Amino acid sequence: MARVVVTGGAGLIGSTLIGRLLERGDEVVCVDNLITGSWDNISAWVDAGEIEFVRHDVSTPFEIDGPVDRVMHLASPASPKDFAELPIQIMKVGGLGSHNTLGLARAKGARFFLASTSEVYGDPLVHPQPETYWGNVNPIGPRGVYDEAKRFAEAMTMAYHRFHGVDVRIVRIFNTYGPAMRLEDGRVVSNFLVQALQGRPLTIYGEGTQTRSFCFVDDEVEGILRLLDSDHVGPMNIGNPNEFTMLELAEVVKEVVNAEVEIVFEPLPVDDPAQRRPDITLAREVLGWEPTIELREGLARTAEVFARRLGV
């Protein structure tokens, strides 16, 4: 049993992770300022006294009383919609927030776990992306605030490891979706599901030939926990290698929701990566992990919860 501090615990991945940590008997302290997370994702645990909740912006220093065994830093807005609306907060939580949480791990002698991203590969020139690829990022474009903050966070994590001897793990998460997403999150899966459930047209940005590889959150969290418990220090891709164009995704969403809705085309955002798929050879070899939930099943599970939340 470990005492685990989870920053960003009220979000999609953080709240799913907390559920799994509690199941296995760990104690959880969730630190979140609810900027993109949802109180509904954690309120039952907080009200029942099953987790401690600290409402705080981790970009400013904070302390946690008592022993801490693991610090898992997931706090960060993550939707491209947020890149435009919260650019400075994103850079601060990736930079200062990573510094503060690394400092907490160091002070407590805890293992540090960083939630990094496939966005460190930018608009990748190598496909699929292995961990050894250094990426193709535009530092001054609209996505640069997120990509560079995460690249800085990885560099800071490795500096704390090399210079201060902090025990660290780094996961590079690829497009992950699930029932705990905000309905208005702005990422493609929640947009398409909400649109289909409400009988509105699906909005495809660009021509829809760009690709992504979507991982259901339960698979993602299983990989995250295996990496946390492993001895592997350097970054590791955790994602689903099944790749879809946005046109294909739209068709699958229509089938799953059973909605006869149109597709409309909107402008492609600047620097939108043309293709993305994880090479998960390392995760297979080191963790014996691979995803088990197919896109249709994951979308169906998410759609069921979304339908309830939308009241349709």
What does the per-residue mask of binding to ligand UDP show for 267-306, with x meaning CB under 6 A? Answer: -xx--x----------------------------------
Buried b (16+ CB within 10 A) or exposed e, 158-193: bebbeeeebbbbbbbbbbbbbbbbbeebbbbbbbbb
Could you give the CA distance from residue 275 to residue 255 in angstroms, rounded to a whole number? 24
Kindly state the number of chain residues that form the binding site for ligand NAD, as judged by CB under 6 A. Answer: 28
Give me the amino acid identity at 157: T
Does residue 245 bind ligand UDP (CB under 6 A)? no
Give dist(CA 161, CA 181) in Å, integer.
32
Residue 146 appears among annotated catalytic residues: yes
Query: What phi, psi does 32 have (nearest 5°)?
Result: -155, 145
Among 99, 161, 212, 277, binds ligand UDP (CB under 6 A): 212
Residue 243 φ then ψ, to 5°? -105, 140
Instruction: Give the one entry of ligand NAD, ligand UDP, none that residue 117 binds, where binding means its C-beta sits below a cut-off of 5 to 8 angstroms depending on kind.
Output: ligand NAD
Is residue 142 within the footprint of ligand UDP (CB under 6 A)? Answer: no
Return d(Cα 143, Cα 83) in angstroms, integer.
6
Site for ligand NAD in 114-173 (CB under 6 A): 115, 117, 173
Report the partner that residue 135 touches, choosing among ligand NAD, ligand UDP, none (CB closer than 5 to 8 A by kind): none
8 A C-beta contact, residue 223 and residue 287: yes
Choosing from 18, 36, 161, 237, the residue that interacts with ligand NAD (CB under 6 A) is 36
**Whose CA is closest to 270, among 167, 143, 180, 183?**
143
Contact between 135 and ligand UDP per CB under 6 A: no
Smallest gap from residue 137 Cβ to ligand UDP (A):
13
SS3 58: coil
Any contact of residue 11 with ligand UDP (CB under 6 A)? no
Please tell me whether residue 57 binds ligand NAD under the rule CB under 6 A: yes
Which one is catalytic: 121, 133, 146, 177? 146
Q: Which of 3, 20, 22, 34 binds ligand NAD (CB under 6 A)?
A: 34
Q: How far apart are CA 47 and CA 184, in angstroms?
A: 25
Residue 38 CA to residue 217 CA, distance in Å, equals 16
Residue 76: contacted member of ligand UDP, ligand NAD, none (CB under 5 to 8 Å, by partner type): ligand NAD
Residue selected from 12, 71, 238, 282 as contacting ligand NAD according to rule CB under 6 A = 12
First to last CA, the chain: 41
Binding site for ligand NAD (CB under 6 A): 7-8, 10-14, 32-37, 57-59, 74-78, 93, 97, 115, 117, 173, 175-176
Binding site for ligand UDP (CB under 6 A): 79-80, 175, 187-188, 191, 203-205, 210, 212, 246, 268-269, 272
Query: Which residues are catalytically annotated?
Result: 146
